Amino acid sequence: MKAIIFARVSTKEQEEGQSIPSQVRRLTEYALKKNLSIEQTFQVTESSSKDTRKQFNQIMAFVKKSKQSYALIIDTIDRLQRSFRETPLLDEFRKQGKLELHFLREGLIVNQQSNSAQLLQWDVGVLFASSYVRQLSDNVKRSQEQCIKNGQWVFSRPPYGYKNVTLPTGQKDVQTNEIQAPFVIKMFELYAQANHSFNTIVTKMREADFPRTAKGKSITVRTVELILNNPFYMGLMRIKGQLHPHRYKQLISEALFNRVQKIMHKRHKSPVQYAGKPILLRGLVRCKKCDGAVSGYIKKEKYVYYSCHNSKRICVKKNVKEEKLLEPIFSALDDLSLSDEQIAKVSRYIEQSEKEEHAEIGRMQREAKEKLQITKERLSKLIDMHVDGKIDAATYRLKLEEYKRTQQNVMLELESYNSNGKEEIAAAQEALELTREAKQLFLSSNLDEKQQLLSFFFSNLQLDHENLVLEVREPFKTIATVHDQHLWRG
């Protein structure tokens, strides 16, 4: 059989660190031992967590176009995928006999004859890789939270009226855009007069030759609305619905901003408020035809019905009883069950995987500690240079902030490593236990817990006329197939 070597790193920095050549060497040696003829070697530099993976898609297109079978040789599961998004395509090629997956470090070969245990091992490996990505995301979030506390803008593009700049020290910062800022101030002043609408402000701004946005767009009603609703211009940045003070120059006063908000509030109707009625599927289901919200209501204080809100006016309103929508949910929950023996087998594999990852985490911890020590030494030298008068106060403050930020990020990284293994095992064990008696657990839970379980087990709940269409999340989707066939799908 011919083979394809797949070596991947996420960033250019890893590529320069010789990670790809070492992968290629190991994978080539493996292919020779297995008497596999290497036809192509793909050296990929892209993140496996991105929505679009161009180089990965090229490999899949190559396999699809070929009339012969290939062995795809990868260093480890997380080099190939870190989510279940690619699994359906890979599994389809596997079932057709067009592709074998050889995972070197796991000692796992997945092909057309693979049994349920091998396929489950693949799924669990993807689950662990996905969990690792989420933990990295958590680290980034913690770093962003600290930046927010320091009044720093954490997104790539600042609001209209401001611009990104690079200081002489190389540090990134946000400053006022001298060309755009006067137009922002003028918008607030015009609207505060209470005799202008969004449309009239658009007209006046165009007459004054309004500078285009960073995306090259001219001013629209929506542009005016976004600017007038943004508290950034009076010293507060809105992040995830919360307001935080920032350290950048204000364009307007708080009094002017509040006056504008008061005028807008009077001109717009207040949003409709709904009572917190106990409706199980509220906010969880969308209409399959128009993708609109499906709303629920209680009739005669005990019967619950659902129907499409029909906001786009293209659906025929049809009331459906909650009991009918729960039927496919109960059927799916019945399929989500593993025997004690199966749970024990997967648990043993999880424990073994954790041991192997523990060694890798130890290496990463050592590297982080070395980086932390270097940063501490640089901080000490910086202080000495400042005391000796070798650097000015401005440079000292900039470098001090840079080193402190690096120190904090490394400490957060070390903290995540300390809890990494335990959190992953606990999450995996919890998922397995939930499959033991999924339906009974659902029926015995209160309303909030039931909604959490529905979100945990299912995705894309849609109302198709009078029927509920649902999709079981991975890895539960794989678990459900064990009742239908001998071979589990990946």
How far apart CA 330 and CA 334 sit, in angstroms, is 6
Q: What pLDDT sits at residue 427?
A: 56
Q: How confident is the model at residue 415 (pLDDT cuts 50, 70, 90)?
A: low
Calculate mean pLDDT across residues 174-201.
90
The amino acid at 348: R
Last residue of a domain, one of 421, 455, 476: 421
Helices 198-207 and 221-228 cross at an angle (nearest 10°) of 110
Q: Is position 427 within any domain?
A: no
The pLDDT confidence band at residue 428, using thresholds 50, 70 and 90, is low
Q: Can you give the pTM of this predicted structure?
A: 0.37
Q: What confidence score (pLDDT) does residue 488 get?
A: 41
pLDDT digits (tens, 9 = 90+) for 77-90: 888 888 888 888 99
The reply to whether 13 and 108 lie within a common domain is yes
Look at residue 454 and give its three-state secondary structure. Answer: helix
Q: Is residue 196 part of a domain?
A: yes
DSSP string, 402-452: HHHHHHHHHHHHHHHHHHHHHHHHHHHHHHHHHTTTHHHHHHTS-HHHHHH
Domain end point (choices 421, 446, 474): 421
The CA-CA-CA angle for residues 77, 82, 87, to 5°, reads: 80
331 plus 480 within the same structural domain: yes
Residue 15 lies in a domain: yes
pLDDT digit string (tens) for 445-488?
A: 888 778 878 877 888 899 998 999 998 877 677 666 655 544 44
Q: Out of 244, 267, 290, pick the residue that ends a domain.
A: 267
78 and 207 together in one domain: no
CB 457 within 8 A of CB 431: no
123 part of a folded domain: no
- Do 226 and 323 lie in one domain? The reply is no
**Co-location of 242 and 180 in the same domain:** yes
Span 214-260, pLDDT tens digits: 888 889 999 999 999 999 999 999 988 888 889 899 999 988 999 99
Asked whether residue 147 is assigned to any structural domain, the reply reads: no
Would residue 84 count as lying in a domain?
yes
Asked whether residue 416 falls in the same domain as residue 456, the answer is no
Residues 223 and 81 both lie in one domain: no
Alpha carbon distance 340, 351 (integer Å): 16
- Whether 162 and 175 have beta carbons less than 8 Å apart is answered as yes
Give me the domain span that covers residue 291: 280-337+435-490
Question: 21 lies in a domain?
Answer: yes
> Does 314 share its domain with 346?
no
Q: Are 70 and 99 in contact (CB under 8 A)?
A: yes
Q: What is the CATH number of the domain that holds 49?
A: 3.40.50.1390
Residues 299 and 447 in one domain: yes
In angstroms, the CA 468 to CA 49 distance is 30
- On whether both 21 and 170 belong to a single domain, the answer is no
Asked if residue 472 and residue 354 are part of one domain, the reply reads no
- Residue 269: what pLDDT? 44
- Asked if the structure places residue 137 within a domain, the reply is no
**pLDDT, mean over the chain:** 82
Residues with Cβ within 8 Å of residue 376, at least 6 apart in sequence: 407
Q: Please, which residues bridge with residue 308 across strands?
A: 294
CA 364/CA 358 separation, integer angstroms: 10
Both ends of the chain: CA-CA distance in Å? 22
Write the single-letter amino acid at 33: K
Number of neighbours of residue 9 by Cβ within 10 angstroms: 20
Number of domains forming the structure of the chain: 4
Per the listing, tokens 């106990």 go with 278
Task: State the Cα–Cα distance between residues 128 and 125, nearest whole angstrom.
Answer: 5
Specify whether 7 is located in the same domain as 109.
yes
CATH number at residue 236: 3.90.1750.20
For residue 475, whether the previous peptide bond is cis, meaning omega lies within 30 degrees of 0, is yes
